[in-house]
Amino acid sequence: MAIEKENNNNEPKPVGAFGRSFITLYEVFGFIGRFFKEVFIPPYEFKELMRQCYEIGYRSALLISTTGFITGLVFTKQSRPSLSEFGATSWLPSLVGIALLRTLAPLLTGLIAAGKVGSSIGAELGSMKVSEQIDAMEVSATNPFKFLVVTRVLAATITMPILTFYTAMIGMLGALLNVSVNEGTSATTFFQSALENITFLDIIASTIKAIIFGFTIAIVGCYQGYHSSKGTEGVGKAANSAVVTAMFLIFIEEVVCVQFFSLFNT
């Protein structure tokens, strides 16, 4: 009995929620640090990188096109009554251009990608983790982190700015349809008005935000999938956590970026 009591006293105490948070934070930063280390070390998986760019970019185009077009159409329709009270409906193209390029296009694209791309990455890597495919890659002298994580994070980071400006263009087409039907504005006049107040800083800000969003979505999805467990239940949790966490971080990053870039507009 004395020995049992001594062994029980020597058992490590369970880590509380506060301690687990620090452990998770340490693992996340270690995961990100490993990415920046592996990304510069050969060999480089260019073929897999191109495949991931296709999967993330091309396969998301239809959903982004539909969402962007409807957003531009609805935003223009909802903004008209407020502007018409002041006789300023001619400002609609400029308003739509500024709103889409500065905020709506990066944020909308980020949220869509978080739901589609983030969940896909989390589920795919989680399935490979629980089925021990990642362990098999390590045994066969393949670097699974470089092949699975680095390529996906780079692909999302490269593809997101392209998708963002594509969303802005499709959104403007939706706005153009509404303005043309109601005001009879030509496409040339619409795009001249929409783009005349767009500055180089707006383009740079949207590009930087898209890069940050893409990196966040992919690194969160890869981390959740790479550390999933408990069979199929863990795969589902990894996909769900990837979406929720990525969306939460995107909103925080949006607020920080808006505050940061507003310093240059003053």
Per-residue model confidence as pLDDT tens digits over 204-254: 999 999 999 999 999 999 998 888 876 777 788 888 888 999 999 999 999
Q: What is the mean pLDDT of the chain?
A: 84
pLDDT of residue 5: 44
The one-letter amino acid at 78? Q
* Chain-centroid distance, C-alpha 136: 30
Instruction: Say if residue 26's pLDDT is above 70.
Output: yes
Q: Which two tokens stand for residue 62?
A: 């239809």
Q: What is the pTM of this model?
A: 0.87
Contact 238, 125 (CB under 8 A): yes
Is the Cβ–Cβ distance between 95 and 79 less than 8 Å? yes
Q: Which amino acid is at 264?
A: F
pLDDT of residue 2: 44
Structure tokens at 159: 């593809």
Q: What pLDDT is attached to residue 7?
A: 47
Angle formed at CA 261 by CA 256 and CA 265, multiple of 5 degrees: 145
Is residue 221 within 8 A of residue 117, CB to CB? The reply is yes
Cis, peptide link before residue 43, omega less than 30° from 0: yes
Domain map (residue ranges) of the chain = 46-265
Stretch 183-205: mean pLDDT: 86
Whether 145 and 34 have beta carbons less than 8 Å apart is answered as yes
The SS3 assignment for 161 reads helix
pLDDT over 90 (residue 152): yes
Is 27 strand, coil or helix? helix
